[in-house]
Structure 1
Amino acid sequence: MAADTPAAEATPPQRPLIMRYAARSDVGRIRAKNDDSAYVGRHLAVVADGMGGHAGGDVASAATVLDMLHLDHGDYNGDAITVLADEIQTANSLLSELVHINPKLAGMGTTVTSLLLAEGKLHFAHIGDSRAYRLRDGEFEQVSVDHTFVQRLIDEGRLRPEEAETHPHKNVLMRVLGDVDASPELDLDTLDVKPGERWLLCSDGLNYVAGHVVERTVRETKDLRECAETLVDLTLEAGAPDNVTVIMLEIVEETRDDVSTAAVDVIPPQLLTTESKPDITGETAGPAETPPAPKPVDEKPAAAEPADSAEPSASTDPHLGEHLSAEVLRLELASRPHELVGAAATAAETGSIPTIAGRTVARRAATVLTHKADAPEADADEILEPTKPRRWVTWSIAAAVLLVLTAGLWLGYAWTQTRYYIGEFDSRVAIYNGVSQRLGPIQLSTLEAVTDIRMDSLPQFSQQRVRQTVPARDLYDAQRIVKNLEGTGTIAPSDECLTAPPTTAPATETASPTGTATKAPATATSPAPSPNASNPAGATSPAASPSPTVVCEVGQ
């Protein structure tokens, strides 16, 4: 038994692993604004490099990082990598919603390189050309793979690595988070982790520092803060034509001091506002020198202040959703040790949180802070309730208008299909079903039948009429017109030359030699009557002559 005791003391239970960290971001010497964002805490590290320039690269990176920071904890019950991947996909859908609301942001996107330390494993997710390096057991290596055009050329053996830095398309991304892909392909991996290993996460702005210089700095600079500062300073010395963001972290075992520090009480909104006055100057309508504090999340937005109040209530601000987003975010950030840099830090400080009002506020209120979902979610939904009817009314009106237009177009099209007309097809007379018009790219008629009547066999006038199309009441009427064209060469209905009204003209009258019809004698066998007293000269007895018949002359 005595021999067992030292062995038991030599293998104490392993304590949980956490990250020690430092971060820095700089706009560089050329760019007008910083499109990079980064967050690092004890369990989560994320670097995002926004693209889109003036169109919203900073919005894309800030929205993505701020949407992910609630993952900074270690309790995942074995599905940490799934949660991490799903959260990045959710951030991607958030960017698409932002573009839908503000089309000026179209084309924005961001890279994402992230590490989630949970349950003794390091979960890695990556898309784009930001990078992750690991120093472990003396070996320094790049864990991430650049999703760029030149990297694909290198992988295919069409380009040497040393040629990549001078390639004209070195910044062309093949995969990125944004409104260009509904389901972007991520690089995912779960890695073994051990205390003492170091990680460098950075945007591609660090690429202007030679790789061996970066490696030497990470190896030789023991202090994480000093290492991050040195890497950014080296980038600035190299000209820094792009934004540069660096996270340095080291995996260590959690100590008793870490546990006590992590148990930070959530700071009430009033105290948070008092300590961080510059953070809310962009949120309120009050004077810049004395900005009023926004109301806490669990207060109703009803205006209870008198009309002559010296400071306007935050509930009167039209951007109430932004107040709530900023307030919830600040409460969350105050609940745990972390560093937030770049565009995401600027958004948190100014309250210009790039979120979708309602959806993100309620979701954050339900899942972040101390993970108490019921009260924050109810409060956020109650505050945002007035915006929902307006949205549904708008959609309902739009749907009704679309339904009426669709029904009208369908009825109009159905009516056209009851009509017929005569036209030309392949130099022949044809019958068409419909009307001889187009509705945009839609032809409102179809070919019903092609006859044997050649256009050049018709008189010139009839040819012109057919080419201009001859309307018909129905298919029978169209067939009758075609039969008349075949028989007489005209479009006149054939029943006009079948009968004629009776006439009292003399039987001796003859038709004009050029006429199309002739009148027959009163009787085929009796001679013409002679005039008498009861029958004056030149008159013909009606009784002696039946009604004449009109005969159409048809060329054989």
Structure 2
Amino acid sequence: MTLVLRFAARSDVGRVRSKNDDSAYVGRHLAVLADGMGGHVGGDVASASTVLDLAPLDDVGYKDPGTVLPDEIQNANLILNELVHANPKLAGMGTTCTAALLAGETLHMAHIGDSRAYRLADGAFSQVTRDHTFVQKLVDEGRLEAAEAQFHPNKNVLMRVLGDVDASPELDVFDVPVAAGERWLLCSDGLTDVVTVERIHQELAEGEALNTVVDNLVDLTLKGGAPDNVTIVVFEVAEGTPEELAPPPEVHLSEDALAVAQAPEAGAVSGRLLREDLAARPHLIVGAASSAVKTDRIPVVTRSSTRRRAAALLGETPAPENRPRRTAALLTSGGESVTPAPLDSAVGPSGRPGTPGEAEAASASDTPAAGAVGTPEGSATAQSPADGADDGSRRRRDGKPTQYRRGWFIPVFTTLLALLLAAVALWGYLWTQTQYYVGEDAGQVAVYRGVPQHLGPLDLSHVDRRTDLSVDGLPSYAQERVRSGMAARDLGHAEQIVTELSESLAPGAPAPTGETPEGGER
């Protein structure tokens, strides 16, 4: 028996938010949901980037399917870091990610954040994922009752997310054996903050059509006020029909789409490339990711990222262990990356790995013979070891030794190099003093001038302005950002970051009363 997913999905901006930071994808073998955060500074970018990076995994034939999702989610996280590095305005953005890959009779899961996955099997309804929130941690430690968690003022403070907080975030990775007839629901917290778990269970169990389940739950959220975006994916595990099990048709990409994979410059992945690839298999894509595909606003920052994403969409037959990684290597092998030769192999004159004999021949032909000495006519004569001198002297053509004297070039060159290095170091230090970042000073948020580095005993930054904003009062992910230093373009941008941090304060935490220049009085 071969299983597939039958699915429905819907995303709504809600009644309060001005834009949708949620994204989701679901197909025959894959379901992914991401809830972006960062408000106006990139929540939609984070969720769309993550979902579009994972979408090409909707396939079968993986040798080790349990590693596919976590590997690619880590790759998606690196892309988010690249985006922030290229555009500091996106600093602090992040996203949750809940993903499921069906392989055989097992659903391979990877999860981070507070989006949720629910399962209805044999009449039993359960939450499969665990929220990575501050409140859930209190519940796990026995410091808070589960019934009180829903009403805790800090229930949405996240402890783990994808984004520029952590280069290698910790994921929950696990496998769930499944059978035909099961129903699953993935959702952002925009649903669970408004609709009770009991009502979700009821709709999932009683709704005959999956589209009806999704529409009813979204409508209930909107009637409840919908203060946040709401995104829902519902799928049913089913025995595949011959039509559902048929391999997708070969994708014949247009010239414009193929040009993306070989673009000489960095740029966005064409929405046409994504649309042509996705059209080859049944799927639904909703939220910010759908808008990105339709408007060609696909976030990519480097040529290597562009090629890797384009390669992931081109596909490969038969399906490899990890299609995005392997196909990307094929596309970039002629340009930016090559496979290094083994440590014990040599490189022949043609640039290809050669034999040890070829290496010796190349070395002999490219290296002057030992003891060669210049003559007034510019020729060279090789001296045998027996003819050479052991005292370090060289021999003229008449056989008489001449003492080797160090010329003036080396000391002059060394002096000039030292002066150049000193000038570069001075210029570098002066440049650091034109930079700003937001960091921590004695438990408070402060604006620093310089860069958060030390050069031996020299500290390359100092406090420019202090605030009354306590670092401990910030959300966990914001605390980590502040303690590691949040880069700013200039002083105005640094003050803007402080303002945004104050707006993210947990309820009850004191708001900043103002900023005080270093050495001043409040």
Residue aligned with 2:267, SS: helix
1:181 alignment counterpart:
166
- Counterparts of 2:22 and 2:160, CA distance in 1: 17
**Unmatched runs of 5 consecutive residues or more in structure 2:** 318-322, 338-416, 427-454, 460-522
Q: Does 2:234 match 1:245? A: no
Q: 1:382 Cα shift?
A: 8.4
1:269 alignment counterpart:
254
- Counterparts of 2:419 and 2:33, CA distance in 1: 50
- Counterparts of 1:61 and 1:200, CA distance in 2: 18
1:209 alignment counterpart:
195
2:290 alignment counterpart:
345
AA at the equivalent of 2:199? V
1:321 alignment counterpart:
267
| Conserved 8 A contact 1:34-1:243 | yes
TM norm structure 2: 0.61
Where in structure 2 are the equivalents of 1:64-463 lying within 5 Å? 64-77=50-63, 79-207=64-192, 208-260=194-246, 262-266=247-251, 268-269=253-254, 295-298=256-259, 321-322=267-268, 324-371=269-316, 406-408=421-423, 442=458
| Conserved 8 A contact 2:10-2:233 | yes
Match of 1:48 among 34, 46, 51: 34
| Conserved 8 A contact 1:328-1:364 | no
- Counterparts of 2:114 and 2:298, CA distance in 1: 25
Q: 1:357 Cα shift?
A: 3.4
- Counterparts of 1:118 and 1:299, CA distance in 2: 30
Q: Which moved more, 1:115-124 or 1:194-203?
A: 115-124
- Counterparts of 2:124 and 2:30, CA distance in 1: 23
Cα shift readout 1:278-330 (whole Å, capped 9, x = no counterpart): xxxxxxxxxxxxxxxxx3424999xxxxxxxxxxxxx9xx99832x4323222
Q: 1:220 Cα shift?
A: 0.2
Cα shift readout 1:33-60 (whole Å, capped 9, x = no counterpart): 0000000001110000001001100000
TM norm structure 1: 0.57
Cα shift readout 1:183-228 (whole Å, capped 9, x = no counterpart): 1111110111111111000000001101111110000002111111
- Counterparts of 2:219 and 2:188, CA distance in 1: 14
1:431 alignment counterpart:
none
Q: 1:339 Cα shift?
A: 0.3
Closer, same or farther: CA 350–144 of 1 in aligned 2, 3 Å: same
- Counterparts of 2:68 and 2:169, CA distance in 1: 16
AA at the equivalent of 2:50? T
| Conserved 8 A contact 1:325-1:361 | no
- Counterparts of 2:291 and 2:336, CA distance in 1: 25
Closer, same or farther: CA 143–379 of 1 in aligned 2, 3 Å: closer
| Conserved 8 A contact 1:40-1:338 | yes
Residue aligned with 1:87, SS: helix
AA at the equivalent of 2:288? A
Cα shift readout 1:392-428 (whole Å, capped 9, x = no counterpart): xxxxxxxxxx9976445889xxxxxxxxxxxxxxxxx
Q: 1:332 Cα shift?
A: 1.8
Residue aligned with 1:89, SS: helix
Q: 1:269 Cα shift?
A: 3.2
Cα shift readout 1:476-499 (whole Å, capped 9, x = no counterpart): xxxxxxxxxxxxxxxxxxxxxxxx
> Of Structure 1 and Structure 2, which has the larger fraction of its residues in strand?
2
- Counterparts of 1:107 and 1:152, CA distance in 2: 22
Q: 1:159 Cα shift?
A: 1.1
- Counterparts of 1:171 and 1:299, CA distance in 2: 39
- Counterparts of 2:205 and 2:297, CA distance in 1: 38
AA at the equivalent of 1:130? S
Q: 1:358 Cα shift?
A: 1.5
Closer, same or farther: CA 225–355 of 1 in aligned 2, 3 Å: same
- Counterparts of 2:231 and 2:243, CA distance in 1: 29
- Counterparts of 2:56 and 2:258, CA distance in 1: 18
| Conserved 8 A contact 2:312-2:327 | no
- Counterparts of 2:130 and 2:245, CA distance in 1: 35
2:19 alignment counterpart:
33
**Unmatched runs of 5 consecutive residues or more in structure 1:** 1-13, 271-294, 302-314, 386-401, 412-438, 444-556
Q: 1:75 Cα shift?
A: 1.1
Where in structure 2 are the equivalents of 1:497-516 lying within 5 Å? none
Query: Which structure has more RCO (C-alpha within 8 Å, separation ≥ 6)?
Result: 2
Closer, same or farther: CA 346–410 of 1 in aligned 2, 3 Å: closer
Closer, same or farther: CA 369–407 of 1 in aligned 2, 3 Å: same
- Counterparts of 1:367 and 1:296, CA distance in 2: 13
Please provide the CA RMSD for this pair.
3.2
- Counterparts of 2:252 and 2:224, CA distance in 1: 42
Q: Work out which of the two has the higher radius of gyration on C-alpha atoms and give 1 or 2.
A: 1
What is the number of residues matched between the two proteins? 345
- Counterparts of 1:67 and 1:108, CA distance in 2: 17
Q: 1:349 Cα shift?
A: 0.5
| Conserved 8 A contact 2:253-2:273 | no
Q: 1:335 Cα shift?
A: 1.8
AA at the equivalent of 1:163? E
Residue aligned with 2:299, SS: coil
| Conserved 8 A contact 1:300-1:383 | no
- Counterparts of 2:110 and 2:8, CA distance in 1: 20
